[in-house]
Amino acid sequence: MSAFKRFVGPRAPAAADEKQQVAFRLPNILLGVAAVLLLVSMFLPYWKMTLHAPQYPSGLSVEVFVNRMTGDVAEIDGLNHYIGMRPLGEAAQLERAVSMVAVAFLVLLVLAAVYVHSPWAALLALPAILWPFIFIADMYYWMRHFGLNLDPTAPLSSSIKPFVPPILGSGMVGQFETVATFQIGLWLAFLAVGLIVAGLYYQRRAYKPLAA
């Protein structure tokens, strides 16, 4: 058997009965839907932070997409300036610059796993499985970095101690309350992870007997 055939694994037999055909198609459907969800998630917000304070009864919010931030970014930057925190736009500049291409590449890897019926399929899909966890870890890194490295020359630096803004849930920074929530884009990415894991399981169960 050639190296390429070992890589792509066995093919579904043409003479498979209806029950067997369902078993062979199910992982393809699961992986295909997962790829679509990842693709859609690129255009939806992944994370949101809302800042509540007496002078802002409606709150100030910023939504984070994989490649940009929207919302009251300028207003929040203005407040952060007084406590010595750097502008939000300076965070994760490289990540935002390459994210659309990176997620599109993950989608292609998941689609490739549809056609690879060997254990290599799991390796192809692994980056997509890790993606939402990498996003959260990267967000936490930048929030922690900004919160713990305040400018000591800022007007209100003496009244605010270094802090780590919550990546999920609520926290207090001086008189301000911040509420962080995961948004639909990230939830779709997590749903894609679940479908990928299920697809790989059913793919292995269907094709492993053919590899013997």
Task: Yes or no: say if 113 and 125 are a contact pair by the CB < 8 Å rule.
Answer: yes
Which 3 state secondary structure label does DSSP give 154? Answer: coil
Which 3 state secondary structure label does DSSP give 63? Answer: strand
**Tens place of pLDDT for every residue, the chain, 212 residues?**
588 888 898 888 887 788 888 999 999 999 999 999 999 999 999 999 999 987 888 899 999 999 999 999 999 999 888 889 999 999 999 999 999 999 999 999 999 999 999 999 999 999 999 999 999 999 999 999 999 999 989 888 778 888 898 999 999 887 889 999 999 999 999 999 999 999 999 999 999 888 76
Q: How far apart are CA 182 and CA 45, in angstroms?
A: 9
pLDDT at 40: 98
Q: What is the four-CA torsion angle of 150, 151, 155, 156, rounded to 10 degrees?
A: 20
Which 3 state secondary structure label does DSSP give 187? Answer: helix
pTM: 0.93
Burial class from Cβ neighbours inside 10 Å (0-12, 13-18, 19+) for residue 17 reads: exposed
Q: Which two tokens stand for residue 158?
A: 């003496």
pLDDT at 14: 81
Q: How far apart are CA 189 and CA 167, in angstroms?
A: 17
pLDDT at 103: 97
Burial class from Cβ neighbours inside 10 Å (0-12, 13-18, 19+) for residue 47 reads: buried
For residue 35, give the nearest of 134, 136, 119, 131 by alpha carbon: 131
Please, which residues have CB within 8 angstroms of residue 160's CB and are 6 or more apart in sequence?
83, 84, 150, 173, 174
Q: Which two tokens stand for residue 52?
A: 């509540």
